[in-house]
Structure 1
Amino acid sequence: MGKPKIRFKGYNDEWEQRKLGDLADRVTRKNQDLVSELPLTISAQYGLIDQNEFFDKRVASKDVSGYYLIENGEFAYNKSTDAPWGAIKRLDRYENGVLSTLYIVFGIKENNPVDSDFLVLYYSTNLWHKGIHEIAAEGARNHGLLNIAPADFFETKLMISQDIEEQNKIGKYFEELERLITLHQRKYDEMKTLKKYMLQKMFPQNGPKIPKIRFEGFTGEWEQRKLGNVLKFQNGFN
């Protein structure tokens, strides 16, 4: 049991430790009817994403009838990513998809006091790594594949609020932060592109003496000067 150092007003109860198996059920439905032929992979940055988009090629076999069928809102654990203890992501981008049976797929139990967004947030931290470390078999790093039994995976423990409304508020709060980060990242990328464009246009290139873009009121030609005529050089650290 424990309490966060910072929390929303009105919530005072201690958080509790729960087994993942108490909150979620393993999903082992096979894609026998070829409901989906979209092979997915897990990316730490993009989550569950189309293999063709992420790898620029298809890694899955042509016959995906033996793969797991994962539905939107369900989670998957990939134990063979570049991340030290694998990655756990929720399917958000597509209605459904297929995953290799090397993945552990699970969905939140019905009428269970755990918020899906809260679970997404929890698995974006490193709080769950200790539990994976404890169940990983000795020598599990051979070939980059963690040796983790599904039964042991569902024995891992999470520290969660007993109030689902608090879970929901926490999930929504960080979802909004992520949205703002994405927005500012997009603006940052746009400014970098603008800077590159203006550097090309506001400085004469390869012969011309007049920039293609300049501030209003300046019309004269630029001139070529030796660096030694512009700067004064000194010895030492100056």
Structure 2
Amino acid sequence: DWKQRKLGDISEKVTEKNKDKKFTETFTNSAEYGIVPQNDFFDKVISNSKNISNYYIVQNDDFIYNPRISNFAPVGPIKRNKLNKVGVMSPLYYVFRTKNIDLTFLEKFFDTSYWHRFMKLNGDTGARADRFAIKDSVFKEMPVPYPSSDEQTKIGNLLKQIDRTIALHQRKLEQLRELKKAALQY
């Protein structure tokens, strides 16, 4: 039988700030691409050495909620830092570190829309139409399915393998389209 846990039971909000400016690389959370270096994502530099002392320190495997609404994320995305490096993120994001849950399982859960209903019932778009507003204390109440740790691992690995298979088929389809395009030019 699967249990349910609150997000606050399986994670802690990261509150460590970059006060000594030890980390200089700023990350952003893209609904489409996940956690990426900010300089790779935007055409201009948004953060600089003057304003990053108030930013949160993001470790590898931390999860980040971005309240920005998009076509890919109607309540904002929650993505995992898989860059294998430490960076910083704006205090506009909610950064959290998990405990007692399989990282891949939780990551795949946040790739679904299952948790969106909780967000829509407990938050709103706030003053800015492009941002979703939810209080931290409410966000931590989000229910998360919680099977046994063995099941979490198996489910996470299965979904990761399905993602790889889909990506492989998409690449093959793209190659076939290119081949067709080339053949039609003759």
Q: Using structure 1 for the length normalisation, give the TM-score.
A: 0.71
Q: 79, 83, 95: which one pairs with 1:105?
A: 95
Q: Deviations over 1:72-113 (max 9, x none)?
A: 11100001131221110000024122111010000112xx2x
Q: 1:188 to 1:57 in 2, by over 3 A?
A: farther
After superposition, where does 1:15-54 map in structure 2 within 5 Å?
A: 15-54=2-41
Change (3 A) 1:128 1:193: same
Alpha-carbon distance between aligned partners in 2 of 1:101 and 1:146, rounded to the nearest angstrom:
15
SS state at 1:197 partner: helix
- Match of 2:182? 197
Match of 1:158 in 2: 144
Task: Look up the SS of the partner of 1:144 in the other structure.
Answer: coil
In structure 1, the partner of 2:128 is 142
Distance (Å, rounded) in 2 between the aligned partners of 1:141 and 1:129 = 20
Aligned residues: 183
Deviations 1:167-205 (A, max 9, x none): 1000000101111111122222222223333333x2xxx
CA distance in 2, matches of 1:141, 1:182: 38
Q: Paired residue for 2:152, among 148, 167, 176?
A: 167
The one of the two structures with greater contact order (alpha-carbon pairs below 8 A, sep at least 6) is: 2
% identical equivalent positions? 39
Q: CA deviation at 1:62?
A: 4.2
- Select the structure of larger CA radius of gyration: 1
Structure 1: distance between partners of 2:11 and 2:133? 21
Higher mean C-alpha deviation, range 166-175 or range 35-44: 35-44
Which of residues 147, 155, 173 in structure 2 aligns to 1:188?
A: 173
The corresponding residue for 1:5 is: none
Find out whether 1:65 has 2:65 as its counterpart.
Answer: no
Question: Which aligned runs of 4 or more in structure 1 are off by greater than 3 angstroms?
Answer: none
Could you list the runs of 5+ residues in structure 2 that have no partner in the other structure?
none
Number of the residue aligned with 2:116: 129
CA 1:65–1:186: 2 relative to 1, 3 Å: same
State the distance in 1 between where 2:31 and 2:130 align: 16
1:56 deviation in Å?
3.1
Alpha-carbon distance in 2 for matches of 1:133, 1:35? 37
Determine if contact 2:65/2:77 at 8 Å carries over to the other structure: yes
